[in-house]
Chain A
Amino acid sequence: MKNQFFVDSGHLSPTALAQKHRLETDPTCRKDPMTYLPGMEQIESDIRSSVMEQMNAYDGTRYTARDVKAALAHDTCSIEDFKALLSPAAEPFLEEMAQRARLETGKHFGNTVYLFTPLYIANYCENYCVYCGFNCYNHIRRMKLTMEQIEHEMQVIADSGMEEILILTGESRRQSDVSYIGEACKLARKYFRMVGLEIYPVNTEEYRYLHECGADYVTVFQETYDPDKYETLHLLGHKRVFPYRFDAQERALMGGMRGVAFSALLGLADFRKDALASALHVYYLQRKYPHAEMSLSCPRLRPIRNNEKIHPSDVHEKQLCQILCAYRIFLPFVGITVSSRESAQFRNGIVKIAATKISAGVSTGIGDHESKYSGKETGGAQGDEQFEIDDSRSLDNMYRDIAGEGLQPVLNDYLYV
């Protein structure tokens, strides 16, 4: 099986290499992705079946221009309308969709654009997700920051003026356990107003602990909502368990988190179905937990270290824009985050239509904020990046550019209560 993802490293032992190839070529040696591993909490929830049922029944080619026009004429966008807006038939209506999306964004968010930055504290990973730079078979510099190093990174970021931080790790419970992440959250509370987490999914009580440590927002990307495709991309590790990942946001809310964020990684599978499922995941969970704050991201595949070939296939900027407009019209109240995977030009345009949050001063590497922010060599060890970013604007430049577009950059709109 040849595909854009499989790359062998000369650093792997013959045994490891053989195991890697077996995982890639022989599905029977992979674990059942629907079976929970020991220690994984199973919650009672019908959200997944509701989402999957809608997604499986969705055939974008069935919708016509007439359905799209009807959807745009409706005051409230139904699920059926949303399906039309995501369909190929809506592509010629992109400008109309953008106009409507802009109106909805204005009603709910005015001209505000929130700014944040990610902080990767470790890149060890036990999963083999074939598209990810952190995957356990990829030969990269691995690193886990000490608490002193984390604090230093936070100081550098806080000095730049940033007030919201998203703490990330690779998915290794062994290397970056929950208490390690909890300690990082406690430090983050000292330097930032708002602390979010993007880590491996954990159980409800662990989310509760992390909330008590200061985190209040949990981001988990399902990557793809197509279980068959999911199985072929996540070949090893706890991430392989599809339903445990799916229920992560619900466990986070049960654990007391204020908000949760969702996304598919666009370009892995049928992006229209993935966009539909992502939004419905939000829609159904919001009905069950109406107090929760929800947001959607829209990452597209990016090249990684040792594999420049990875690209988001058929999800071009036009398709991405269509998805974001459809999200906004269907879910006017949700936050929409556009990351530095996208170009400065795209981000400048999309904040005027649908996006409400963007990152600035971004590094997806480990321990390199000082060198990246100041341009000087610090001599300290650094870990490699998860993926290549496109928009590398600093906070100052981003703030200026956003304000220059006639929008209001906001560094914080949050209180930990």
Chain B
Amino acid sequence: MDNDKLIIGGHAFHSRFILGSGKYSLHLIEAAVKYAGAEIITLAVRRANTKEQENILDYIPEGVTLLPNTSGARNAEEAVRIARLARELGCGNFVKIEIMRDSKYLLPDNPETVKATEILAKEGFVVMPYMYPDLNTARDLMHAGAAAVMPLASPIGSNKGLATKEFIQILIDEIDLPIIVDAGIGRPSQACEAMEMGAAAIMANTALATAGDLPGMASAFRHAIEAGRQAYLAGLGRVLSRGASASDPLTGFLRD
């Protein structure tokens, strides 16, 4: 496990928990770093666009990689503009693309996301696109230069868990990039399940932000993610989809 690293765009991380950006508070950042072990923290550029004394940027600890996101973008062009602004603000080269044409469910717009990925990857960004788990789009994103692919488990903030499980599994099986499950993970057990499936990392926010005991929940996520990862690396035992298997082979009567 010690040598098991998450590699994104040539950067290595020990932690496989990434803090999402939806609901910010400084306590949340603190808990995510200290108790969930987060090494990557998402930052909504629009939220950092403030003169506020308590600017989130000032509260990101040393050694933590900032992942600015393009929330608020409604198309590829706006996402590209926000990403460039993030770079100007000194947020580094990582960018999580979020493009939403839907204010109700905040579901990502896959075709626009591919367009933005292509432009930003060419400009040297480490591009991590948030997407609806569709194999063709994931391939397009890979060819466009994405450093990871971030399919949603269920709608943002819903805490509904792995509603898109089967489709995320297809991405894990077919795409040669880290698959980071983003959005909808509401419980440590769901994070664990995604990691067992072979997800490279988990991004969560609401599950922590709305927990009764923030540090306690952050720590639970850390353990769940580590357990799931270890199970994946150890190789899960045979799981039969239907009924029990006969202990004696059915074809045992065959002589030669």
Contact = CB atoms under 8 A, between A and B. Distances in A.
B52 A292 contact: no
A106 interface: yes
B197 interface: no
Contacts of A411: 50-52
A161 B78 CA distance: 27
A415 B46 contact: yes
Interface stretch (A2-10, A108-116, A367-375): A108-116
B82 A290 contact: no
Interface residues of B, number: 34
B120 interface: no
Interface string B63-103: 00000000011100010011001000000000000001111
A111 B26 CA distance: 12
A410 B53 CA distance: 11
B22 interface: yes
B23 A412 contact: no
Interface string A308-350: 0000000000000000000000000100000000000000000
Contacts of B82: 415, 417
Interface in A31-68: none
B24 interface: yes
A414 interface: yes
B230 interface: no
B81 A291 contact: no
Interface string B39-63: 0000011110111110000000000
Contacts of A161: 51-53
B209 interface: yes
A333 B74 CA distance: 17
A163 B52 contact: yes
Interface string B86-129: 00000000000000111111100000000000000000000000
Interface of A: 106-112, 161, 163, 193, 286, 290-294, 333, 408, 410-415, 417
Interface of B: 22-25, 44-47, 49-53, 72-74, 78, 81-82, 85, 100-106, 157-159, 205-206, 209-210
6 contacts: A112-B24, A163-B51, A291-B102, A333-B106, A413-B46, A417-B72
Given A106-B206, A112-B24, A290-B102, 16 more contacts: A107-B158, A110-B209, A110-B210, A111-B25, A161-B53, A163-B51, A163-B52, A286-B104, A290-B103, A292-B103, A408-B24, A412-B50, A414-B46, A417-B72, A417-B73, A417-B81
